[in-house]
Amino acid sequence: GPRRSGPQLYCELKRRTRIRTVDGTQEPFSSLGWARLVPPRPLDQIQTPQYRTCAVVTSAGSILNSSLGAEIDSHDAVLRFNSAPTRGFERDVGNKTTLRIINSQIVSRPEHQFSSSPLYRDVALLLWDPAPYSANLTAWFLKPDFDLFSPYVERRRLRPQQPFYVLHPEFIWSLWDLIQDHTQDQIQPNPPSSGFIGIVVMMSLCRDVSVYEFIPSLRRTDLCHYYERYRDNACTLGAYHPLLYEKLLLQRMNQGTPMDLEAKGKLTLRGLRDLSC
């Protein structure tokens, strides 16, 4: 696609993406009574007035030995991903968690112990699953990538007070369209990573967003996650997800300094709400 400048990209993002969750107004979810199952408050009103500063902490191995924990925790809200822990890593990643984005493997694969693990308690949860592009919701419901629907329903019944949302596939694919439209290459037809999805969600919920180790700092490493020994540079560059293109796009929107990027792996992004386009 055509190469746009930072300010144009912000306006594109604002115009083309609206956070959307499965709200029970569409089939098959309406017949299944989801309108009463989902949280009564829409995700974009989860915090009023909106969060001022937010941190997004990716799970990359390069955050090890960063000593970024205190800086991360100084934000009003902190977003983390999947099964990324804080315990034992506080110095580098902090210990505050306000929201967690989880993919459908987390709720369906037994090793994650979704129903009993404290990682998924006392935080707002945003769950997503890679539905096929423009598949209808019934086809997705019958054949999700990993079964997310029964664990979601069970959890809503057990913990109705916990803010817990399923991201709408159209929201996920609108992000893919946006990445493709601003990239010269043909990107793989797979959804964006949880990281990219989470950053856009936080740009909608917060006035300012600090993202840590999405673009790797000088600590860059092939260590996949800070909490595991597994090494694979596809974790950072992408294989299934169009991760490299997600990163190149957001780097063009960075409002922070090259210093912050190199030393902290920190991108500074503006929230979308107050943007005048």
- Residues at the contact surface with ligand NCC, assessed by CB under 6 A: 58-61, 81-83, 103, 105-106, 193-195, 214, 224-225, 235-236, 240
Enumerate helices (H) and strands (E) in the chain, giving the number of each: 12, 7
Nearer to ligand NCC, 141 or 146 (CB): 146
Give me the least distance between CB of 215 and ligand NCC, in Å please.
Answer: 8
Instruction: Of 206, 213, 219, give the one whose Cα is nearest residue 250.
Output: 213
Give me the least distance between CB of 18 and ligand NCC, in Å please.
Answer: 21
Tell me how far apart the alpha carbons of residues 84 and 1 are, in angstroms, rounded to a whole number: 34
Say if residues 80 and 124 touch (Cβ distance below 8 Å).
no
Give me the least distance between CB of 101 and ligand NCC, in Å please.
Answer: 7
Nearer to ligand NCC, 21 or 83 (CB): 83
Give me the least distance between CB of 153 and ligand NCC, in Å please.
Answer: 21
Nearer to ligand NCC, 47 or 103 (CB): 103
Nearer to ligand NCC, 250 or 272 (CB): 250
Amino acid at 140: W
Q: Is 33 left (phi over 0), alpha (psi -120 to 50) or beta?
A: left
Instruction: Of 99, 122, 96, 93, give the one whose Cα is nearest residue 47.
Output: 99
Amino acid at 216: P
Nearer to ligand NCC, 206 or 211 (CB): 211
Question: 59-75 burial, b if ≥16 CB within 10 A, otherwise e?
Answer: bbbbbbebebbeebbeb
Number of residues assigned to the chain: 277
Tell me how far apart the alpha carbons of residues 258 and 264 are, in angstroms, rounded to a whole number: 10
Give me the least distance between CB of 232 and ligand NCC, in Å please.
Answer: 8
Residue with the shortest CB distance to ligand NCC: 195
Give me the least distance between CB of 69 and ligand NCC, in Å please.
Answer: 17
Q: Which positions ≥6 away from 267 have C-beta within 8 Å?
A: 210, 211, 214, 215, 250, 251, 253, 254, 256, 261
Nearer to ligand NCC, 93 or 235 (CB): 235
Give me the least distance between CB of 197 and ligand NCC, in Å please.
Answer: 8
Nearer to ligand NCC, 34 or 54 (CB): 54
- Coil, helix or strand for 134? coil
Give me the least distance between CB of 82 and ligand NCC, in Å please.
Answer: 4
Nearer to ligand NCC, 265 or 271 (CB): 265
Amino acid at 112: H
